[in-house]
Amino acid sequence: MNNTTSPRTARPRRKRFLVAAATALVMVGGGAVGYTLVAREDKPDCTRLLSDTALQRALGDAYREDMDCGTFGTAIRDAATGSTPRAHTLAQARAMQAALGAVGDDIEQGQEPSIAPDLRAPLATALADYTQDTYEILSGVNGEYTHREDSAPWQDGKIIRMSVHPDDLVNVLRAVSQDPAAYADLRAAHVRECSTRLAMVPTQATGPAYSEPARGCAAGLGHYDGIADDIPKSQAEPWRSDVLRRLKNTADSPPPYEVNRSQHIEGSWQQAVAEQIDANQTLFLTNDSSRIVDIWATARGEGIDSKKVNDLQATVASDADSSSVATEEALRCTRTTECG
């Protein structure tokens, strides 16, 4: 069945915290299964989501009015992803966009970033397949993504791209992250995208060409930091333990930088987290942006105590902190009518 889903109708937002935070960065340029649940007391269902007409059109023949949440989530995942990781058709990207918009609307109506437990795993799997897009949305500095928040997915050369409102994305990420394995997989997917971009920085790069990939990485990580901070204190330590367990169990030995630059950065980060971070640490993963810069600079043969590297570490730490604060405000806004 051909998918001709139209872009979702733009609707008023209570406040655009994430856009405001992103513009302050002053930068240049454009399958997880078997999750352990740390659920809240409430059990949101899929009633409103099943009635979303844009999502119904996106699912096409896979849609059934009487689907349970697990079957519904699987249909969303299958409609949004294909056999080749991170490669999508326009129809698949429209399905992902429709799902994020529908879930974002549902969360906003319920005033709580929570979704049915059976939706978390399939949505997290789908989101991890769109990390090229979520990286851009969370960093907030690629004008093409900002301008197309209410537009249909588009083709950019050989790549299909998709954008949504940043606050929708953060709310959905928070909702699926109630499941610690989902959070671990999504954070690792973001670092994988960071590593790919850092690996492409030329040896003699200076200025924005040198700093922009690290700053975009940090901006995204800050949103994940804010999500981790939003886990209720009574659940935080077991949730963090499960996040770390997932990262440790999925870690591979990093190859030498000369063999595969991106896999070296990603693998070294995951190995360092598994070896150095404890669930009861106050900072938990909040210094990941500086940790990744340290791994990257060391692999490039740069002095990690040099002014160039130290300045970058300070900048990325600030970027991550700004994004964390923005996520805290966005989630607060979701839960209250006082945001205007």
- Residue 18 confidence (pLDDT): 53
- Residue 317 confidence (pLDDT): 97
pTM of the model: 0.88
pLDDT tens for each residue of the chain, 340 residues long:
444 444 444 444 544 445 444 444 444 444 444 444 444 445 578 999 999 999 999 999 999 999 999 999 999 999 999 999 999 999 999 999 999 999 999 999 999 999 999 999 999 999 999 999 999 999 988 989 999 988 999 999 999 999 999 999 999 999 999 999 999 999 999 999 999 999 999 999 999 999 999 999 999 999 999 999 999 999 999 999 999 999 999 999 999 999 999 999 999 999 999 888 887 877 889 999 999 999 999 999 998 899 999 999 999 999 999 999 999 999 999 999 777 5
- Residue 124 confidence (pLDDT): 98
- Residue 340 confidence (pLDDT): 57
- Residue 110 confidence (pLDDT): 93
Q: How far apart are CA 290 and CA 307, in angstroms?
A: 14
- Residue 232 confidence (pLDDT): 95
- Residue 239 confidence (pLDDT): 96
> Which residues does residue 159 pair with via DSSP β-bridges, in sequence order?
156
The three state secondary structure string of the chain is CCCCCCCCCCCCCCCCHHHHHHHCCCCCCCCCCCCCCCCCCCCCCCHHHHCCHHHHHHHHHHCCCCCCHHHHHHHHHHHHCCCCCCCCCHHHHHHHHHHHHHHHHHHHHHCCCCCCHHHHHHHHHHHHCCHHHHHHHHHCCCHHHHHCCCCCCEEECCEEECCCCHHHHHHHHHHHCCCHHHHHHHHHHHHHHHHHHHHCCCCCCCHHHHHHHHHHHHHHHHHHHHHHHCCCHHHHHHHHHHHHHHHHHCCCCCCCCCCCHHHHHHHHHHHHHHHHCCCCCCCCCCCHHHHHHHHHHHHCCCCCCCHHHHHHHHHHHHHHHHHHHHHHHHHHHHCCCCCC
- Residue 265 confidence (pLDDT): 98
- Residue 69 confidence (pLDDT): 96
